Structure 1
Amino acid sequence: MASKVTFIGAGNMAGAIIGGMIESGVSPDDIMATSPSDDILAPLRERLSIHTATDNAAAVAESDVVVLAVKPQIMREVCEKMRDAVQARRPLIVSVAAGLPAETLEHWLGGDLPLVRCMPNTPALVGAGAAGLYANANVDDAQRRLATELMEAVGLVEWVDDEALLDAVTAVSGSAPAYFFLMFEAMEETGVKLGLPADTARRLAMQTALGAAKMALSSDKLPGELKRNVMSPGGTTERAVEHLEEAGLRRIMAEAMTACADRASEMADELGKR
C-alpha cells in the first residue's frame, strides 16, 4: 500500500489498524492520525512513529484514504467541518463507525464520493479481527483492494454486496465476541462448581475455544462434521451436546442474533436522522 492514509480519530480501533498496517509493511511515514487533543495523539506518535495532527481538514488535503474512526454521535459534526477538504481531494472514505449508513456519511461529506463501510470487531485489537465490508457504487476495483489491505492488517475480511447485510455481519461477528465471553464466564463458573480453581477453568475454556476455531478454520470439513468427530457414541461429548440441543441452544442463538441485527438496523435509522 503506497497510499497516504489518514485516520480521523485516534482511539483503540484506529490504533489497532495502524499497528497492523505497520506490521504488514506499510511505512509509518504514509500514515496520519488526527484528534482534537495532542494528549491522545502523543502516545500513538511515540509508539508507532506516525504523523499526527489536530486539524482534520489539513490532514485530509494530503490523503488518498481517509478512515472515519470517531464515535457515531459526533460523526456529522466532524464530517461537515472537513467537507470542503474532502471534496477538493476526493479520497477513498472508509468508515469503521457502527450504524451510520453510507448514504448518510456521503451526504455529510458533500456527496459523490467513493465510500466503504466496515463492520470490524474488537479482536482486531490483537490482530485477530473479522470485518464485513460494503462499497458504494463510486468505489473502483483498486480502491476495494486498498480497503481490503487496510482491514486485512488486523484480521479476516469479507465483502457483502448489500449494505443491509452489514446488520447480519454485526450479529455474526461484530457483536459476537461478547457471546463467547459469556460462554467463558458460564464455563468458568461451572468448572468451579465441579471443583476446579477459577483461573484453571478459565484458561482451559479459552484455550479450547482458540483450538476449536483454529481447527475449524484450517479444515475443509463443516462445523457439523467436526462436532460429530468429537462425539463418541454413548460418550461424554455426546451427552453434553444432546443436552445443549434439547435445551434449545440453536433457538437461543437465533433469537439473540436476530435481536442484534434488528437493533443494528434501528441504530442506522436513528443515527442517520441526526
Structure 2
Amino acid sequence: MDRLAAMSEPGAIVVLLDTSPASEAALSAAARLAHHRNLELVGLFIEERDLLHSAAYPFAREISVLSGTSRPFDSEILRSRLDLQRRRIERQLQQEAGALSLTWRLHVETGSVQEALAGMGIRAEILLLGKTGWSGSHGRRLGASATQVISGTDCTIVLWEGTPWPARGPVQALITDPDSGPAIARMAAVLAGVADRPLHLLFAPGLDPSREPDVLAALGPQAAPVTVERLGVASPAALARSLRRRPGGELVIGRSGPAALGCDLAELVTLTDTPVVLVPAT
C-alpha cells in the first residue's frame, strides 16, 4: 500500500491539475464529488523535476508544434510559464470550490506523480485526473500522468474524460469477482447519487450467481434504478458491445477486471471514451 492510501483520516478528494481541457473537466467533477461526500477538495499541481533539469542546460531549445521552428528555452522561461499555470489553476480551483462552499487547498509539488502524492501527507478517498491530458485524443489512449498513477497508486482513481459530468446514461459497473464486487458497487452508487442517474451492473461470466446478492446489497438504500446484465463472453469485445448498446457515463472497474477479460489494464481503461473509475483491490 502506498503512503497516500495509508494516511490517517480525514480523507479528501484529490484532483491532479494542469491547464488542459481534460483537467478542467476533472476539477469540476472533483468539486461535485467533494460536495456530495462532504470532504475537502485538494488540487495538486506537479512541476516535473526532469523538465526543470532539462531547461537548465545552456543548449536547451524548444520546437513549436504549429510552425516547427526552434526557439530558445531556459529555466527562466519555464519558471514563468509554470507560475502562470499555477495562478490559473488556483483561480479555477477557487471558483469551483467557492460555488459549492467547499474547503479547498492547492499543493504545488516537484517530482514524479508518485512522489508528489506520497509527499502531500493527505489520504485520498478518490483521486481524479484527466485520462489523456494534452494529447488531444479521446478514449483510445492514456496520457503519461494517467499511466504513472495507474501503476503506482493504490486508491480509487477516476480517469476523467469528456464533459464535467455526463448528462445522461447510467453509471456502469463491471463485476468480475465476488471479493471486489461490493466495493465496485458502492463506488458506482456514489457516482449515481452525485448526478441522480441509474446504475447498470455487468456481471462477468463465471461469477458464482449465489454471490450476486452480496453485490446488490452493497448498493445500500438508494433511489436510483438498477439494471443487471450478464456478459455471455469474458472478453474486451463483449464488454465493448455492451457499452455501445447502452451508452452511459462512468465505467467502474476493479483491479481484477483486466485479467478476467483476458486483457491488460491499459486496454480495458481505453475501451471507452467515457470516464473510467478504477477501484483498488480489497
Q: What TM-score do the two structures reach when normalised by structure 1?
A: 0.40
Q: What TM-score do the two structures reach when normalised by structure 2?
A: 0.39
Bigger radius of gyration among the two: 1
Q: Which has the higher strand share?
A: 2
Higher relative contact order (CA 8 A, sep 6+): 2
